[in-house]
Amino acid sequence: LPNSFLCSRAWASNEVADSLAICQSRGKPSFFITITTNPNWPEIKERLNPGQNALDIPIIVCRVVKAKLENAIAKIRRHFGTIVYIVRVIEFQKRGLPHAHIVI
């Protein structure tokens, strides 16, 4: 599949190359942060029906993770001021929950 196809091998390779080019031109990152989904976050737990777990409501989990990730990045920006670059990747763990890697 071509690199215009989102999440294809060619697309991922292009994303990695772009990220490495940013690091090469702007300098090495200062921080590597990982944010892992907690299936017991209240925002997830309160949306579960009896007998369900976080894996049963993937759309809700992804929305919660996205909101928490955006909140974390906003806090980082407020704390550190001007940031040269941020690269973030969201992956799914073997147990099915997303986690994010952030390079600053």
pLDDT digits (tens, 9 = 90+) for 9-29: 888 888 889 888 988 899 889
Q: CA dist 19 to 2, 8, 16, 48, 61, Å?
A: 19, 17, 5, 37, 26
> What is the identity of the amino acid at 1?
L
The residues, any chain, with a CB within 8 Å of residue 23's CB and separated by 6 or more, are: 29, 85, 87, 103
Of residues 42 and 104, more confidently modeled: 42
Residue found under tokens 């029906």:
49
> Within 13 Å and on the Cβ side, how many CA atoms surround 58?
8
pLDDT digits (tens, 9 = 90+) for 29-83: 988 999 999 999 999 999 999 999 999 999 999 999 999 999 999 999 999 888 8
